Amino acid sequence: GRGMCATLLREGYQVFGTDVAASSMQLAQDLGVQTCPHVQALCQQTKQLIISLPKAEHVALVIAGAEGVLAHAQANTLVMDTSTSKPEVSKALAVQMQQAGHAFLDTPVSGGPAGAHAGTMVMLVGGNEAALPQAQPILQALSSKWVHLGESGSGHAAKLINNLLCAAHLLTTAEAVAIGNKAGLDAEKLLAGINAGSGRSGVSEVNFPKWVLSEAFDSGFTMGLMRKDLALAAELVESTGLDLAMAQQVLGTWQASSETQADGDDFNRIIHTVPGL
């Protein structure tokens, strides 16, 4: 959330914010955010709310809890949920918000902390198309590209699919580099060739050069967060009823990684589960 605050301030917005953590409130104040002690006070200041929370349960509490947005929002309030959340939770909250005369869009993001600070994220939007004109200036300020996927929940479904692909790409790219190592190829040159061809991905173009080959492992996104997102992706896969061997292999590898890699480790360290690296 802090990166998005910085971007909105840079774009000329007046930004208010609240957080349960005093340390986060102080960091926000240092940026120039006008902090509020609770959701009620925040709702008194603005009709455009952006939420960034760890879990779907937190989102539901902030929106529909006794002291949440629905209890205190001004008329015609717009909520944009940038969390990685459950599509079914987004659908339910959108109905509640609409019944109260408000709008709710699920707007999960891709691009990491650096993208949030730079305003270059991709935002995957789900929700009523009628809310888009109100949301569009904010979407454009925060992202280099945003896509409206469809009804409520579709943005969060797309984000889970995106993260499942990223998880797979980390493993397959690691195996490709391991094969290259055994074949006597220089890893940087191998990736340069891959990135000029059809095998490239965001992982081969960004993650490996920036965080893996450099051994920096400081992307700002942790193993714990990725495993949390993939647990939601596993629920989505199961709900489809599809027998997807590749998805199950990827999900199983990431789940098993908890035995050797701490939640606080950089998520790119999943490559250490691959022999030869």
Per-residue model confidence as pLDDT tens digits over 50-61: 999 999 999 999
CATH code at 157-273? 1.10.1040.10
Report whether 106 contacts 90 (CB < 8 A). yes
pLDDT in tens, 19-47: 999 999 999 999 999 999 999 999 999 99
Beta-sheet pairing, 143-150 with 48-51: unpaired
Instruction: Please check whether residue 81 is in contact with residue 92, taking contact to mean a CB–CB distance below 8 angstroms.
Output: no
> pLDDT value at position 240?
97
Domain(s) labelled CATH 1.10.1040.10 in the chain stretch across 157-273
Where do you find CATH 3.40.50.720 in the chain?
2-150
Confidence of residue 113 (pLDDT cuts 50, 70, 90): confident
As a CATH number, domain 2-150 is: 3.40.50.720
Bridge pairing between strands 34-35 and 109-110: unpaired
Query: At residue 219, what is the residue type?
Result: S
Q: Name the packing angle between helices 2-10 and 132-142 (round to 10°).
A: 100
Rounded mean pLDDT, 229-233: 97
Q: Rounded distance, CA 134 to CA 136, Å?
A: 6
pLDDT of residue 112: 86
Reported as a single tens digit per residue, the pLDDT across 262-277 is: 999 999 999 999 999 8
Residue 12 in this model has a pLDDT that exceeds 90: yes
Task: Give the range among 25-34, 112-121, 133-142 with minimum mean pLDDT.
Answer: 112-121
**pLDDT per residue over 138-185, tens digit each?**
999 999 999 999 999 999 999 999 999 999 999 999 999 999 999 999
- pLDDT digit string, tens, across residues 194-210: 999 999 999 999 999 99
Is 0.75 surpassed by the pTM of this model?
A: yes
